[in-house]
Chains A and B, each alone.
Chain A
């Protein structure tokens, strides 16, 4: 294993959290009710905290003096290796909750696996994060059930959201060379091993919500290789604009 591999592995999980945190931030002042505004802000903050810890750790592994801010603000889109799922625009509230259910269910398995990592810092971050993810999952599952088992309108919107995001879910379990080598080293896990449990977790919620599990083939994705949908560039433009315009600005 090289430090470069280790760095890239921690960084991809940092990127998932950073990009998703930015999406949650976009909901603030726009949520359907005040309590939800606070909830989405809180969840976004948890993801941001997880991202910061992972970015800081990645920077230390890289050993070239890049801290969390340099990694977040000065990498172009092609160097971001987050999943395509998390960069998808918020859509309506049902769409955000479908994305959350898919991703939270994935993170439950991911953090549980990384809690046993041979990298003690990564294991520590995972053990902290899993408690937060359980809370997020309770929130997203609760809403999917409420909306699915709600009115005709909410049921229809929830089903449509699950269906439209479904093609992006396969990427979460698509192991590449880096995943496999990190799993062999005991640092990471093979994401394909998470799929079965993920299907069970999501199916339980979807059934209770009186919704139907989507089917259909995945779309071609390349998030882990830095190949993104058209949405990430716009997201990063907003995230990075200030530091790109006035590098090193502080307040």
Chain B
């Protein structure tokens, strides 16, 4: 039997990160809790970075989708504790990043090398510790010559 909580979770699973459209917010690891009571639902989300400008869009998207699915009222809360880290990203999330040309973060404590997402070369260089969004750094592959985004590791 599909409970109301299951359907709320399914709906939330369809919300994508507007800055990385390949990545769902559940796979990104920012959905902390979902509580359903009758037709009302409360969702706790946590920002990847304090100033992440996507939070507003994500909140609106969650509200709209849950509203369309018949939930009312819908309350989306921002929680800071405990602070997000890239360890909360799912394996599927990492795979989706890789497929969209973004080098995914390794798990904390892992010694895995960063590979070029296009040619898998280990011959890469850091261009800038800051990239197109707060969560990414800019790198370049010295084998194939392509620049690429790297999702920064945020330790727990």
Contact = CB atoms under 8 A, between A and B. Distances in A.
B80 A53 contact: yes
Q: How large is the interface on B (under 10, 10 to 19, 20 to 34, 35 or more residues)?
A: 20 to 34
B135 to A, nearest CB: 10
A175 interface: no
Interface stretch (A100-108, A127-135, A181-189, A198-206): A127-135
Contact of B83 (A43, A48, A128, A135): A128
B51 interface: yes
Q: Which of B53, B132, B134 has the most CB of A within 10 A?
A: B134
Contact of B134 (A42, A52, A53, A139): A42
A45 interface: yes
The 9 closest A-B pairs by CB, nearest first: A49-B51, A49-B50, A124-B80, A124-B81, A35-B128, A39-B130, A45-B51, A128-B83, A42-B130
Interface in B48-66: 49-53
A127 B155 CA distance: 12
Describe A's contact surface by its main secondary structure.
helix
B134 to A, nearest CB: 5
A47 B128 contact: no
B50 A132 contact: yes
Interface in B109-127: 127
A50 B138 contact: no
A46 B130 CA distance: 12
A127 B128 CA distance: 25
A45 B79 CA distance: 19
Contacts, number: 68
A45 B49 CA distance: 9
Nearest to A139: B129
A10 to B, nearest CB: 13
Given A45-B51, A123-B81, A124-B81, A131 B129 contact: no
A164 B80 CA distance: 37
Given A49-B51, A50-B51, A127 B82 contact: yes
B130 A127 contact: no
Contacts of B18: none
A129 B50 contact: yes
Contacts of B80: 53, 121, 124-125, 127-128
A128 B128 contact: no
B5 interface: no
A120 interface: yes
Contacts of B84: 128
A49 B82 contact: no
A48 B53 CA distance: 10
B127 A35 contact: yes
Nearest to B79: A124
Q: Which of B49, B79, B155 has the most CB of A within 10 A?
A: B49
Contacts of A128: 47, 50, 80, 83-84
B48 to A, nearest CB: 10
Contacts of B49: 45-46, 49, 132
B15 interface: no
A52 B83 contact: no
